[in-house]
Amino acid sequence: MEQIKQKLLDAVSARKEEIVALAGDLVRFPSTKGNEAKAQSFYADKLRELGAQVESFEPDMAEMKKHPAFVTDRENFSGSPVVAGVLKGDGGGRSLILCGHMDVVDPGSGHWTNSPWDPVVKDGRLYGRGAVDMKGGVAAHYMAVKTIRQMGIKLKGDVKILSTIDEECSSSGILALIGRGYKADAAICTEPVGLKVTIATTGSTWFKIKVTGKSAHGGIAFAGVNALYKAIPIIERIQRLEEERRLRLYGTVPVYNGAPIAFCAGVNKIQGGTWPAIVPAEVVLEGRVGFSPLEKLEDVQKELEDAVYAVAKADPWLKDNPPVIEYYKSRWNSGCVEEDHSLVKTLQGAYTQASGKAGQIVGMFACSDSGTLIRFGDTPAIDFGPGPQSMAHQTDEYVDIDDLVKVARIIAVTILDWCGFTE
Ligand SMILES: [Zn+2]
């Protein structure tokens, strides 16, 4: 038993070049939002090479709109198919989802040393947009499965490899796959968490608050109502709300105890006014509320609304012209598993076997498909992938090649221990 795992670890290590090559091949596709089709088609073929039963489809907007967690600014999902590859086990084992997203954020306006779509290997790093977030993680878990297959090890439980879209701006891809029935006894998302065993992910919902005033010439400003001034107490209230929530939620999810604020809420964009000498009739505040793995989205939204409407009620103008709150464009779901969940234990066992010690258990401040798998997919999920985490979404993004190999090794043994196997 232990011998076969050691053989597997060695075999994965020997595939270092192949892991980097696959990650590089994926980086070459500029798979920003709406442009994932070519990368997904390439990856679907790779899954077929494994002998997986592959399904690929563009999410159906009408179907998606029925889901309470769905929010988007898309018209449709043209050019953004999801992909799933299923490797049936022999039976009698536990199933495992390996999840990654194929979408990447735009390269941005920073100056890249090399083209973001031209994978470059240098000093133990693979450079390119998506290298760490998260095509590197996708290549690592793919290669873990491929090595198991090529060694002829027979798994008892099913392995389901999911490649999602829209993770960077919402959760549509994973929601669509869950809707199609893709669930498992557990899931691992190989997001760039720097080899940390990430058992919790925060949620986040974007909001827009329209504050209405009354326009007037600046010389007779007393004839108008300045929407900007009316927005100030609302902004201050949201700032206080963040602090109230910090105090109330502290300690409820212990992996976040070390953070100054675990679930930030804030107004981060403001638009309003047309001219320095005209009293603005409208101001739009935009922001996000982060929420805990233990909170319900509806409750968090209600708390925000109550806070904003209480300000409005106390104001002679706003009580008759209340602000309008809207949730739009982006939403991610929070979720967590217990520290002693069998998936965490299994991964930690593999971690120890592969590297001599267990991994650090943490919660993440960013969002991941894992939250949606937990909340709506009935699938306990964690994040575990390469680093450095700080390079996600950055100019000259890179992934540490050693991390890719470590992730592939640890995932490979995790698959064996989780799904069960016969030699
Ligand atoms: Zn990511």
Instruction: Answer yes or no: do 173 and 217 share one domain.
Output: no
CA of 60 relative to ligand 1 center, distance in Å: 23
* Model pTM score: 0.94
Strands, sheet with 265-272, edge to edge from the N-terminal-most edge strand = 265-272, 282-291, 203-212, 324-332
What gap in Å lies between CA 356 and CA 179, rounded to an integer?
A: 39
Give 65-120 as a DSSP string: HTSTT---S-S--TT--EEEEEE---SSS--EEEEEE--B----SS--SS-TTS-E
Instruction: Answer yes or no: do 291 and 396 share one domain.
Output: no
Instruction: Answer yes or no: do 193 and 284 share one domain.
Output: no
Pairing type for strands 159-164 and 335-336 reads unpaired
pLDDT in the model for residue 170: 87
Instruction: Answer yes or no: do 411 and 281 share one domain.
Output: no
pLDDT in the model for residue 176: 97
CA of 173 relative to ligand 1 center, distance in Å: 13
Domain boundary among 304, 332, 360: 332
CA of 369 relative to ligand 1 center, distance in Å: 9
Instruction: Answer yes or no: do 169 and 129 share one domain.
Output: yes
CA of 392 relative to ligand 1 center, distance in Å: 8
pLDDT in the model for residue 404: 98
pLDDT in the model for residue 255: 96
Instruction: Answer yes or no: do 220 and 349 share one domain.
Output: no
Residue 357 in tokens: 């010690």
Question: What CATH number corresponds to the domain at position 237?
Answer: 3.30.70.360
| Count of domains forming the chain | 2
With a cut of 70, list the residues of the chain below it in pLDDT.
none
| The amino acid at 276 | P
Instruction: Answer yes or no: do 180 and 209 share one domain.
Output: no
Catalytic residue set = 103, 167
Domain boundary among 332, 355, 376: 332
What gap in Å lies between CA 402 and CA 388, rounded to an integer?
A: 11
Q: Which residues contact 100 (CB under 8 A, 6 or more apart)?
A: 134, 135, 137, 138, 141, 162, 163, 164, 189, 190, 191
Residue length of the chain:
423
CA of 175 relative to ligand 1 center, distance in Å: 16
| The amino acid at 409 | R
pLDDT in the model for residue 169: 86
Structural domain that includes position 263:
203-332
Instruction: Answer yes or no: do 224 and 312 share one domain.
Output: yes
* pLDDT single digits (tens) 350-379: 999 999 999 999 999 988 999 999 999 999
Instruction: Answer yes or no: do 352 and 249 share one domain.
Output: no
Domain boundary among 317, 332, 347: 332
Instruction: Answer yes or no: do 301 and 388 share one domain.
Output: no
CA of 132 relative to ligand 1 center, distance in Å: 8
CA of 291 relative to ligand 1 center, distance in Å: 18
Is the CB of residue 206 less than 8 Å from the CB of residue 328? yes
pLDDT in the model for residue 44: 98
Instruction: Answer yes or no: do 193 and 234 share one domain.
Output: no
* pLDDT single digits (tens) 69-121: 898 889 999 999 999 999 999 999 999 999 999 999 999 999 999 999 999 99
CA of 105 relative to ligand 1 center, distance in Å: 9
pLDDT in the model for residue 69: 87
pLDDT in the model for residue 366: 86
Distances (CA, A) of 299 to 263, 303, 305, 306, 346: 14, 6, 10, 10, 34
Question: What CATH number corresponds to the domain at position 185?
Answer: 3.40.630.10
